[in-house]
Structure 1
């Protein structure tokens, strides 16, 4: 290994559920490369987005700040030009930076240089789902010129990433590459999940997660294509890892694989995400390379907002104070005594909502009178959901308002208010839900804060 800082590659998918992976119990062998990466590197077993919708989640990843902090709390709000991104932080430390794929942080197509987040190399589209089709991929270079790439869209982006890695490996400076796929996001204009030819048929009527078995939604129609997309993405991840091995830089390159949010297949609202449920917020995540090899499986709760400081910290770059998350390196080093097992979630577009996820409980509130498009936050929320994730991991029974769970709700209410004040600098009021009788349900005192 050389004395230069480690290279960093982020492999970022779109709308991928955590339980598409073998290490999370999916029996279809969709993700052998991710599963191997998780076993040999560091697997973040409980990973969650901080905003279950595309652009806000991406703004959080690029800046390390919550969506309400940058103003990108919903889609179609461009990232402010003066916001520092990961590209800026890595460049300041001598990295060459590259972005390939879906951006979704500008309100223009092609994305002008001033809206490219400071990346040196640019081969991307703001709305890749609108500029391309499964077998027709149009991206744009730094100067806004269209670039047509052949092959299935996942493969086209992977080929471009391999060319980037091979070229930068011939240079002296380390590189930071953000590879942002569209898949397994639906194709907007047809509202379907177009897998590579022959892949959808292989997985149609295959294993269905229990929440989708119970609630249905569009899963019977769309899960085969969705799984086919996930399979091809994992094959792409394998190709990236193979290239690092071929170039003999796998031991000096950090790789993070994750996604922006999940998909509930129209079971929780009228579309695929934008809800507090595990199907929307829980995501796959694993790292390998310097600092993460043989890190093991970590069961602590980790947020997407923790990934930016983690990557900087692992590269030996000082984490900026303005970042809201925390580096997970203490967890990898088993120095986790101060880790807070709580995840704060902001929910936009479907509602103006807030949620907190602890090891056992999920608690969510919303403002039914707020404008879900124009209001970033509220001064008054109403309790909406409470789930006991130990007894009901697929969130099929909403406990909010039950007399038996009033103490639980109060504990979580205070935790959520504390998070809102910490990250949004506001002190709203949360109105308790109407009381309902509990039947035989009871909560032991020892279960209140688990």
Structure 2
């Protein structure tokens, strides 16, 4: 592309692909997500390779794996020497902005309700305009950070409020200046408070159904939670519609790469696991929506089956915009494959992972590594458990092939691939508490899979941009 397109990335939270009509859900209508899909490209193999908020977001914005950045769990402070997507785009003439949930800092942790703050400077990874917050689930009348250690409380529901901040930013950007904007609502993440306005519940059917892989013992709790979950998805859909309308109203739609995605899915009761759980190797946790629209590039209701992990998005966006990614990036530039070019590079498999039993602390248990290809999903837990599923023939993952003699050669092949992918990251499947020395008392990253690191507040080595 010769002209630099604007980028607007709507990064939702905990929306799994399978709960959207575009990916097969039949119980709700999402006209605005559907329209984006009809006018753009739907990615059928976008994988949240570490299906937890902080690890995913770090991969997205640095193009580096958790084994390198140290983002193994939530509420970890990002090193100041990380070179982020915003650093690169701002140095190439873009005005950059982050609006909404961040979760790449400690914020007010361990208190995770109400106000928190992400300080100005490198804690914001180079974003020039900021109306973000680290983490809270106050969906009605919540807060965003301003500058000078000040917060501002929004009025109404989060999706509407964040769009108002989006529109203010776009209004202030000169028409001749391209912009790269991320807006990240916390929906459809669970909350102990109110989930969504009543008008979205009114659009749901009286009775909801769950997939066959939700066992009877989980169905009652899961049906109740699914109603809240779908209501929040409808709110995000309307948010996207308002955003598209504003781009059209301001004459920017034709030169804007509009992206809709999510940081991970939710188990929804599948496999007998709690509705709001993620961090599992099952499709409900790792398969996320990814839809892009840019006239002349991503259009015509096309499906792209390229295996895409979070670390690939940063370099691929650079490739689309004619920008050289920094040498720190570990992901691949898949932009040619995304555009359907013949003989374009693709990866055959991606490494999937989870580092412990809980989201926010290093507690031993549930450590696993896995491999996801276009056709199969394999995982091995630290305790020896293994799984192998044919996700084409068995999308609900109800028939574990790991003990099937006919699948032994495939399982061996997947294990070999897993070993190679782990070796590339200098990764070891080990207890969560083995990573304790990766963090200091302020939850700053001081070590990674390659050894001790320098001062976590050092500036980046900007020569790596060249």
Instruction: Please name the residue that 1:250 is paired with.
Output: 253
How far 1:197 moved relative to its partner?
Answer: 1.6
Q: 1:210 & 1:85 partners in 2: Cα distance?
A: 41
Where 1:9 maps in the other structure, the secondary structure is strand
Structure 1 residue 336: deviation in Å? 4.2
Partner of 2:305: helix, strand, or coil? strand
Higher mean displacement: 41-50 or 177-186 = 41-50
What's the offset of the Cα at 1:145? 0.7
Structure 1 residue 144, shift from structure 2 partner = 2.4
Q: CA deviation at 1:171?
A: 4.7
The Cα offsets for residues 166-220 of structure 1, whole Å up to 9 and x where unpaired, read as 221x353211111011000001x35xx7122232354253243343366735321
Deviation per CA, 1:336-358: give whole Å up to 9, x if none. 45312322212133322111111
2:378 is matched with: 363
Q: Judge which range, 90-99 or 262-271, deviates more.
A: 262-271
How high is the TM-score relative to the length of structure 1?
A: 0.85
2:355 maps to 1:348: yes
- Relative to structure 1, is the Cα distance of residues 153 and 334 closer, same or farther in structure 2, using a 3 angstrom cutoff? same
Does the C-alpha gap of structure 1 residues 341 and 35 become closer, same or farther in structure 2, counting only changes over 3 Å? farther
In the alignment, is residue 277 of structure 1 matched against residue 277 of structure 2? no
> 1:400-419 counterparts in 2 under 5 A?
400-419=402-421
* Aligned pairs (5 A) from 1:240-389: 240-268=243-271, 269-270=273-274, 271-289=276-294, 291-294=297-300, 296-331=302-337, 332-350=339-357, 351-368=366-383, 382-389=384-391
Deviation at 1:116, TM superposition (A): 1.2
Residues 142-221 of structure 1 correspond to what in structure 2 (within 5 A)? 142-168=147-173, 170-187=174-191, 189=192, 194-203=195-204, 205-212=207-214, 216=218, 218-221=221-224
Structure 1 counterpart SS, 2:227: helix
Please say which of residues 266-275 and 51-60 is displaced more in the overlay. Answer: 266-275
CA contact (8 A) 1:4 1:174 kept: no
* Distance in 2 separating the partners of 1:88 and 1:398: 44
Whether contact under 8 Å (1:262, 1:281) holds in the other structure is: yes
Q: 2:334–2:345: 8 Å Cα contact kept in structure 1?
A: no
In the alignment, structure 1 segments of 5+ residues that lack a partner are 369-381, 430-450
Aligned residues of 2:52 and 2:264 also touching (Cα < 8 A): yes
> For 2:56 and 2:267, how far apart are their aligned partners in 1?
17
Relative to the length of structure 2, the TM-score reads 0.82
Aligned: 1:127 with 2:129: no
Stretches of structure 2 that go unaligned for 5 or more consecutive residues are 108-115, 358-365, 431-466
Alignment partners' CA distance in 1, 2:353 and 2:8? 27
Question: Is 1:233 the equivalent of 2:232?
Answer: no
Across the aligned residues of Structure 1 and Structure 2, the Cα RMSD in angstroms comes to 2.2
Cα displacement (A) at 1:148: 1.1
Q: Distance in 1 between matches of 2:209 and 2:334?
A: 33
Larger proportion of strand: 1
